Amino acid sequence: MEENLEEIELEEKEDIRQGKYMTFQIGTDVFGIELKYVNEIIQMQPVAPIPEVEHFIKGLINLRGKIIPVIDVADRFGREPFEYNDRTCIIVIDVKNVVVGLIVETISEVVSIEEENILPPPNTSKGLVQGKFICGIGKVGDTVKLLLDPVKLLSDDSLDFTDKQEDEEEE
């Protein structure tokens, strides 16, 4: 009975988040990540560097006793680094039970984007590095938001948190 109540509460929570995106800025571009992946937003804090990892993995943070890897999203996209300031935030996301922090320049807002207002990402011949991480283009009024696919953001040839954690759990 208690499990059923927890399931119902979880489904209701997911329904509330359906079609909602946390938006943030990197340079002049506005990106969105589906709210269902967002655990919380925290202020930038000291990051313990990790040797011999990809340049965009800035290190680890201790979030209330839990150690979380942190990625600089601008760096992940191959963009010029930006100086962290008082508006810099870490979006803590959970993708397939893998918790990761995303460093972003600034949080914009939470927006609702109906499915019919989401277009497929454009094909680019040269393509920006970030293109492979985009799952859609959200139209919000007169603006567009580049919608990120967090699964792709956390897994490719150079980085795959999900497989490593699953392998460690099996051992």
**What does the pLDDT average to over 132-140?**
89
Q: Band of the pLDDT at 77, cuts 50, 70, 90?
A: confident
pTM for the whole thing? 0.79
pLDDT tens sequence across 106-120 = 999 999 999 999 988
User: What is the amino acid identity at position 57?
Assistant: I
The vertex-21 CA angle with 17 and 25, nearest 5°, equals 155
CB contact at 8 A, 103 and 70: yes
Q: Which CATH architecture has domain 21-161?
A: Beta Barrel (2.40)
Residue 56 backbone class (left: φ over 0; alpha: ψ -120 to 50; beta: rest): alpha
Q: Where are the domains of the chain?
A: 21-161
Mean pLDDT value of segment 8-28: 74
Q: What is the pLDDT of residue 32?
A: 96
Confidence of residue 154 (pLDDT cuts 50, 70, 90): confident
pLDDT at residue 156 in the model: 61
Least confident of 14-18, 94-98, 153-157: 14-18
pLDDT digits (tens, 9 = 90+) for 39-54: 999 999 999 999 999 8
Residue 124 CA to residue 122 CA, distance in Å, equals 6
Is the per-residue pLDDT at 165 higher than 50? no
